[in-house]
Amino acid sequence: MPKWVKPGVFVLCLLPLCFLGYAAASNDLGPDPAERVMHITGEWALRFLVLTLLMSPLRQWTGKSWPLKLRRMLGLYTFFYACVHLVSFGQFFLGWTPELLLEELAERPYIAVGFTAWLLMLPLAITSTKGMQRRLGRNWRRLHRLVYVAAAAASLHLLWISRSDIGEALIYTLVLATLVLWRARAAILPGREGQTRA
């Protein structure tokens, strides 16, 4: 993998945020900008989740190692956009009022599910360093399977918000489900373990 790929991808992944900032600064997010910010950051968190989960299969299909070298960064970007999404919700919709937060978590299951997805990714982000990977050994891989639970929670979060047209939510769910099943199949079928170890 050429040297410029990683920094290149890093900058590319920042573009959605840059554009969101530019649109916000130039008053281009419409009459309800908070809702747009929520929508856009949530969508990008999902897109990065799909990209992250795509890296292992890509390595297998291409036989190249570059997908795995990008996986950590994409995973961290997933978490990053999920954080912006979460902070936006706290800032724009709750105003950091604890009572409102408790009410939302208790009474709006889709918010609790979305929050769960973020919580599940938190330990993955913390243990994403090479040092942690070494220290945790076999357990690192076990721990990071949590990403599949997070993917399920994120899909449910999106499906639950849909009001009448579930098309978009369905597409994300199907893509994520395919990727999760692909991994599950590789783990279940004997003799394939070696190919999917990552």
Partner 1 sequence: MARRYSIPQIASSEITPEPVYLKRRHFLQVAGLAALPALVGHSSQSAASNVTGGTPLTFNPGSDFNTAETRTPLEDISSYCNFYEFGTDKGDPAKYAHQMTTDPWAIEVSGEVAKPGKLNLEDIVSGFDLEERIYRLRCVEAWSMVVPWVGFPLADLLQRFEPTSDAKYVAFETLHRPSEMRGTRSFTSIIPWPYREGLRMDEAMHPLTLLSVGMYGKTLPNQNGAPVRLVVPWKYGFKSIKSIVKIHLTSKQPATSWQTINSREYGFYSNVNPGVDHPRWSQSRERRLPNTLFDQNWMETQLFNGYQDQVAGLYKGMDLKRNY
- The number of C-alpha atoms within 13 Å of 194 and in the hemisphere containing its C-beta is 1
Considering only the stretches 20-28, 146-154, 174-182, 187-195, report the one whose residues sit in contact with partner 1 under the rule CB under 8 A: 20-28
Under the binding rule (CB under 8 A), the answer on residue 35 touching partner 1 is: yes
Instruction: Return d(Cα 181, Cα 188) in angstroms, integer.
Output: 10
Under the binding rule (CB under 8 A), the answer on residue 167 touching partner 1 is: yes
Considering only the stretches 75-83, 124-132, 141-149, 164-172, report the one whose residues sit in contact with partner 1 under the rule CB under 8 A: 164-172
Under the binding rule (CB under 8 A), the answer on residue 182 touching partner 1 is: no
Under the binding rule (CB under 8 A), the answer on residue 115 touching partner 1 is: no
CB 66 within 8 A of CB 58: no
In the complex, the residues that contact partner 1 under the rule CB under 8 A are 15-16, 19-20, 23-24, 28-37, 39-40, 43-44, 92-93, 95, 103-104, 107-110, 160-161, 163-167, 170
